[in-house]
Homo-oligomer: A and B are copies of this chain.
């Protein structure tokens, strides 16, 4: 059985998903507001197809700091090697796991998941390095943040992509959907500064 792993994330034109302290308030700039019904950028439709979200402890703690738990009863798997508190929202469906990305995917597949939403910079990078990401929907925000938490950073692997869809919004967002083909031999390790 096949599990599809997807990325759905916003990044500044210079490739940051958050400011250095994790702040994402810049995403909620009133200048980016579109008419009602167009501010979704396909998120709800994407989420409706997701069986479980997989995120790192840093993203999880950021989400916990929000006013309310944003994922309802959607299954969320937090990758962590340290104990973390569950959300206070009784509807939340959070479990904790750790280990190599392939094992995480295998355990979720065994539990019946067919579509995983991989979220957070470091988690996305780990899954990309492991060759486990199938598609990425990246919404590029018209700003240079100048510093922050990188979406990709120095991955250390070269990965060809196939553009499936590109859409520009009236607020300057450009959303691109890429597919990653899992052909052996097309991926190769590259020299990294890390």
Contacts and interface: CB of A to CB of B under 8 A. Distances in A.
Interface stretch (A51-59, A72-80, A104-112, A151-159): A151-159
Contacts of A22: none
Contacts of A144: 128, 152, 155, 157-159, 161
A14 B150 CA distance: 9
Contacts of A174: 163, 166, 174, 176
A109 to B, nearest CB: 25
Given A174-B176, A176-B174, A146 B159 contact: yes
A193 interface: yes
Interface of A, helix, strand, loop or mixed by DSSP = loop
Contacts of A140: 176
B14 A146 contact: no
Contacts of A191: 19-20, 147
A128 B157 CA distance: 29
A193 B14 CA distance: 14
Contacts of A13: 138, 152, 161, 178
6 contacts: A20-B191, A140-B176, A143-B158, A144-B159, A144-B161, A146-B190
Interface of A: 13-15, 19-20, 31, 128, 138, 140, 142-147, 151-163, 166, 168, 172-174, 176, 178, 189-193
Given A128-B144, A147-B155, 19 more contacts: A14-B151, A19-B191, A31-B160, A142-B160, A142-B163, A143-B158, A143-B160, A144-B161, A146-B154, A146-B155, A146-B159, A147-B154, A147-B191, A147-B192, A147-B193, A161-B172, A162-B172, A163-B168, A168-B176
